[in-house]
Amino acid sequence: MLVRQSAVYAFGAIALAVIALVMVAVYSRLFTAEQYGTFAIVMSSAALAYGTTLNWLSTTIIRMYAASPDKNGFLGAVLYYYLLIAAVAILGSLAALGWLETSEERTLVVVGLCVFLSIGWMELQFRIYQARLEAARLTRARLVRSTLGAILGASLAWAGWGPVGALIGVVAGAVLPALIEIILVWRHVPIGGTIAVRESLWKFGSPLIASFALGQVSRFSGRYLVIWLEGVAMVGIYSLALELAARLANTLLMPINSAAAPLVVDRVEQNNHAAARASLRNAFVLFVGIALPSVTGISFVAADLATVFVGEEFRAGVVLLLPLLVLSFFITGLTNSYLDLSLHLSLNSKRILYRSIAGSILNLVLGFLLIRSHGLIGAAYASLITAVAMGAFTWWLGRDAFKLPFPLWPLSKLIAATALMAGALLFVDTQPGFVGLLVKVLVGVTVYGLALLLLDVEGVRGRLPELLKKVQKRIG
């Protein structure tokens, strides 16, 4: 089940990454660093608002939907909280308009509000698909949103609408699929559900609000500190590097993350803890088996990626920042998708709050000190140090909650396979560009794959004939 769900998500993740990389290439050539900084700050502010006000609801859906006997009532309670938060956001934005001096600022606030409301709604819908184990439906919805947003945003930006045009594209890409879902599904859902369901959602989710709010402060504080200390143009470069790093990391990790959490929760709800731990073990091995060679490989191809996908004004900054940011995303991904499960499965929201408080304080302090002394690279160092520290702290908090497996023997083999791949890449000497990227990827994938076979990681040699037969059967 985990492998099948992951395969569906992998297809979607690759397609989404292609769209995102195309948009990085387009916007980094259409926009100046300052224009991209404006676009990035509005998107970051909308994401910060989502993480602060709606992310708790997304997590509650993943954790509680499977156990809910009244699915329509559960969805009605979700709708109730979304509408309540949307109303507060609209009123707050209207109040903020009166304090702004220029029409450009007011336009960005209105468009940013629309981004928050549309993306927030679609993210809740995505979590429902995920909780239902509807991998194909979730993948289709993500692809439709991203494709529409990319086409409309790029068209408006090219027509001279600048960052506002790109933001309108993001909104339209989310609104059109949302309307279809409202017509097909949500018009049958009673707004509010029952008081009992709303109270159960609130009881589990409310302790997460402060935790996620602090987590978003940790996630986005670097960008706002860069604006304050370095200016809008520098945050444009930093945000583009973050976007590229996030897309690369999410492409590789989202299939595992999306499939593992709801599957494990479903098995825990069925009191099948042995099967849950088996799924967790498989997820850990898959995660590390992808993350280790990916982080290592990206450090070798950073210049090639920047040459192919990034405009000249952004290129040097991306080459400098990308390896550190990708490593930070992978460590954070391991924390959020694996280590956090010990706390979520034990319904221990308070410990997540403690972790978030520590992470926010650490990231703010490190970000301020390191950006002042080292500029953009200081922001990347602050993110990496915080990611490592919070991963260790999360493990410590969850050590006596829900015991997570850490298979050391497969881990040691994966480290050895990655080391062999890195050794081979040291001998590849090409000029930065598409050819260099292609050669390094082919060498890295080939050597790593052969190393997995040589070391027989997770009995891959014995499974290879069966896998080849399945591939041959599908092709035939």
| Confidence band of 469 (pLDDT split at 50, 70, 90) | low
| Percent share of the chain, pLDDT over 90 | 31
In this predicted model, what pLDDT tens digit does every residue of 308-319 receive, in sequence order? Answer: 889 889 999 999
Residue 447 is predicted with a pLDDT of: 95
Least confident piece of the model among 128-137, 241-250, 414-423: 128-137
- The pTM (predicted TM-score) of the whole model is 0.77
Q: What is the mean pLDDT of residues 404-433?
A: 90
C-alpha span between 18 and 415 (Å, rounded): 28
| Confidence band of 471 (pLDDT split at 50, 70, 90) | low
| Confidence band of 89 (pLDDT split at 50, 70, 90) | very high
Q: What is the overall mean pLDDT for the chain?
A: 83
